[in-house]
Structure 1
Amino acid sequence: MARLDDTSGYLIAPQPGVQRLTRAVSGTDQTGAAIDLTVVEERPLTIYLNAREIVTAMTIGDYPEYLALGFLRNQGMLSDADTVTSVDYDDDLEVVVVRTAVETDHEAKLQKKTRTSGCAVGTVFGDMMDGLADVQLPATPVRTSDLYALAATISRTPSLYLEAGAIHGTVLCQGNRPLVYMEDVGRHNAVDKIAGWMLSEGISADDKVLYTTGRLTSEMVIKTALMGIPTLASRSGFTAWGVEIAQQVGLTLIGRMKGQRFVCLAGESRLIRDADPATVADEPRKSGRKGATA
């Protein structure tokens, strides 16, 4: 099992020690006693595509270039046919400008701008199902031994969540190895950072697993599918539409993953059950919720 301070296997690991990502604040607890806390910073980031302002997102401020690239790609505003010529970040203005070789046709997307129910008010453009008809995810098998190993490593990785809370994490994994661990105030931002890193580095998605601390909603499933990643896993639960879309696009969807337990609601045929759950350390079950299993 990974040590609590071991991030050597990551290509990009969380940065709980970076001061600009958190702030110390003082308050009082339930008894009136003074208490000092570390809380996560929020700051605006405005994303431009060529000369057009697209959106201002609230973010913790790390990896702004990856966030901008991933956001534009996941919203369908950058396609495989578009050549990105530069990604420029101005720290003083808190602006990222993504430039392409040829102007993109994104005005129609802007006209259909909508908000989602995601944390930190995620933003999508137009019909969320755009592009899914052409998605063909590889039928990549996933070993339960790898899933257990990933969950154990990720839960023990030093992170902003462990230090300050109020944040979501998303991890790109391969086999039993977590590769890139991104955090942000909104789970959508964390996913977009991973998408931007993959686009920038030319990383194949066919053999990857995306692990998230957030809920498995329709938008999380859609983003994962559009990124070409065949497996999505989480400690949290599902929405019905998220499950339905995962079944339609052939995504392996695993949630409520805590200790020995998990639930697979799509892609069961691609699971290789090569680990005995009895050999995995369990977590206490929560009580007080009718029919609760995780």
Structure 2
Amino acid sequence: MQLSVRDERYQDYLVAPEPARAGLSRRVTGYDENGQPVEVSVVEERPLTIYLNAREIVTAMTIGDYPEYLALGFLANQGMLAPGDDVTAVDYDEELAVVVVRTAVETDHEAKLQKKTRTSGCAVGTVFGDMMAGLDGMTLPPATLRTSWLYALSHKINRTPSLYLEAGAIHGTVLCQGPRPLVYMEDVGRHNAVDKIAGWMRAGGVNPEDKILYTTGRLTSEMVIKTALMGIPILASRSGFTAWGVEIANQTGLTLIGRLKGKRFTCLAGEDRLIRDADQGRIPDEDRKHRRKGAGT
């Protein structure tokens, strides 16, 4: 997406939300608590089927933007595309709502998924097992996190025009470098938003070692696993944690920041990476207008 930076809130972004983009939301009329008619924006969602070569992998509900990045990132984060796999094409058919990711040779994961499907009809256990196996022996690279960066990112991201601010019922994930937000993806599922980031990074060969991942969603085990598998050493969220997510973060050396609102946050893993350089007295409390809820779903 080529951004026009007329709105200074989009400056620094390489990819930013497009709340006015056709097809992402629509106006619906309802009634408020007093029985008065109201018109509100609601997010659209539609199915997208992802194929790896000739093998159907999953149908996901998504808002429909960046389907190629979503497919690439999903397959990479589920361990179905290894870093060395040669992706020869990513083909999207809008009419059929299908993305086909093609590789030079068939991957081991296709055969494994086919076997699992034939024997039990469900591949979830195999997929999650592959994700966990990818963490064996993993230690994320050294990184530094300044608290001034956290506050700057939170302030800017929460003031960026987005579908969340327009319609709600959506999650956002932002790839950042230092105090600068780079790529801001949204979707109805927090995992979809992360997968779009992963797909964008893979397509561009982006180095993850100096990046920060910011998300509005809970810091669950799967969110932590995906961030670690992407090679990103720092994960921050406005929302809370799960115990297994914290355990995996400690295991892989990932810095985990949660409940980031205004001047408050909690670090439950990787405290040694923090440089507390921000003057707390200069950090403003959150303006209610820009206050995002710590999404619980």
TM-score, reference length from structure 2: 0.89
Instruction: Measure the CA separation in 1 of the matches of 2:67 and 2:105.
Output: 22
Listed as ranges, the gaps of 5+ residues in structure 2 are: 1-5, 117-121, 289-297
- Could you say what the CA RMSD is over the residues aligned between the two structures, in angstroms? 1.8
Question: Offset at 1:94?
Answer: 0.3
Listed one character per residue, the Cα deviations across residues 9-50 of structure 1 (whole Å, up to 9, x for unaligned) are 100000101021001111111111001111000000000000
CA deviation after TM superposition for structure 1 residue 127, in Å:
4.8
Q: State whether residues 143 and 210 of structure 2, in contact with CA within 8 Å, keep that contact through their aligned partners in structure 1.
A: yes
Q: Give 1:71's aligned residue.
A: 74
Show CA shifts across 1:238-264 (max 9, x none).
000000100010000000000110000
Alignment partner, residue 98 of structure 1: 101
Asked whether the 8 Å contact 1:260–1:278 carries over to 2, the reply is: no
Cα deviation, residue 284, structure 1: 8.7
1:49-81, CA deviations, whole angstroms, 9 ceiling, x for partnerless residues? 000000000000000000000000000000022
Taking the aligned partners of 1:81 and 1:284, their CA distance within structure 2 comes to: 46
Which structure 2 residues correspond to residues 56-67 of structure 1 after superposition, within 5 A? 56-67=59-70
Q: Where in structure 1 do 4 or more consecutive aligned residues deviate above 6 Å? A: none
Partner amino acid for 2:176?
C
Alignment partners' CA distance in 2, 1:28 and 1:284: 28
Counterpart of 1:166?
169
Asked if 1:108 corresponds to 2:118, the answer is: no
Please give the alpha-carbon distance, in whole angstroms, between the structure 2 residues aligned to 1:124 and 1:102: 20
- Residue identity (%): 72
Corresponding residue number in structure 1 for 2:293: none
> Which range moved further: 146-155 or 274-283?
274-283
Q: Are 2:14 and 1:11 equivalent residues in the alignment?
A: yes
Is residue 187 from structure 1 mapped to residue 197 from structure 2 by the alignment? no
SS of the aligned residue for 1:150 comes to helix
Shifted more, 241-250 versus 135-144: the winner is: 135-144
2:238 partner amino acid: R
Point out the structure with the larger helix share: 2
Match of 1:118 in 2: none
How do 1:122-161 and structure 2 match up within 5 A?
A: 124-161=127-164
Matched with 1:288 is: none
2:256 paired with 1:246: no
- Count residues in correspondence: 276
Could you give the per-residue CA deviations for residues 101-133 of structure 1, whole angstroms, max 9, x where no partner exists? 001122324526228xxxxxxx95435412101
